[in-house]
């Protein structure tokens, strides 16, 4: 399952209301797992954050602030960086971490089919639910198969 990651744009006064596509993340999830959407979104969020290096600098090793080579713990082959990296005075910097207000879009899954187990109590007909901080609305049920629409 592929997740498009869009970072909110900012200017000197704050958010501009526009977004820039920064990455496409390939999350290896089982479509019929029942938690695939949550797992894909969690995976995309984790791997577009700078926790142990730079997610957007596609290098296994980086120079730290003391000019020592260290392993880039945020390198992931499943993340395709699609935005240009910023340059300041000729030095290339990585992209910022994902945060609240950014958008994560499941490619080709505007209407996504989810297998829901009877005993899981995850969804009920036409009720709002939350998946990893994303709001979902169950829009159609037929037996154990539920179609949901994701929005932010």
Please tell me what DSSP assigns to residue 106: E
What pLDDT, on the 0 to 100 scale, is given for residue 113?
32
Give pairs for 131-134: CB < 8 Å, separation 24+: 131/37, 131/38, 131/41, 132/37, 132/38, 132/41, 132/42, 132/45, 133/41, 134/37, 134/41, 134/104
pTM of structure: 0.69
What pLDDT, on the 0 to 100 scale, is given for residue 57?
94
What pLDDT, on the 0 to 100 scale, is given for residue 124?
39
What pLDDT, on the 0 to 100 scale, is given for residue 97?
95
Give average pLDDT by consecutive 10-residue segment, the chain, 152 residues.
90 91 88 74 93 93 89 95 96 92 70 34 39 42 40 40
What pLDDT, on the 0 to 100 scale, is given for residue 100?
85
User: What distance in Å separates the CA atoms of residue 150 and residue 71, rounded to the nearest whole number?
Assistant: 36
Among residues 102, 75, 115, 73, which one has the least CA distance to residue 3?
A: 102
CB atoms within 10 A of CB 11: 8
Find out whether 145 and 114 touch, Cβ atoms under 8 Å.
Answer: yes
Q: How far apart are the first and last CA of the chain?
A: 19
What pLDDT, on the 0 to 100 scale, is given for residue 106?
79
What pLDDT, on the 0 to 100 scale, is given for residue 145?
40
What pLDDT, on the 0 to 100 scale, is given for residue 127?
37
What pLDDT, on the 0 to 100 scale, is given for residue 32?
62
């Amino acid at each position: 399952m592929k997740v498009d990651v869009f970072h909110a744009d900012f200017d000197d006064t704050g958010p501009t209301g526009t977004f820039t596509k920064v990455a496409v993340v390939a999350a290896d999830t089982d479509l019929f797992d029942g938690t695939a959407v949550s797992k894909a979104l969690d995976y995309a969020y984790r791997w577009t954050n700078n926790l142990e290096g730079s997610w957007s600098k596609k290098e296994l090793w980086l120079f730290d602030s003391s000019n020592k080579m260290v392993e880039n713990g945020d390198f992931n082959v499943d993340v395709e960086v699609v935005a240009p990296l910023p340059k300041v005075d000729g030095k290339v910097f990585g992209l910022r971490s994902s945060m609240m207000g950014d958008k994560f879009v499941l490619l080709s899954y505007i209407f996504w089919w989810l297998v829901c187990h009877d005993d899981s109590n995850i969804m009920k007909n036409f009720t709002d639910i939350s998946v990893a901080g994303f709001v979902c609305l169950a829009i159609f049920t037929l037996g154990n198969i539920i179609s949901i629409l994701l929005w932010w």
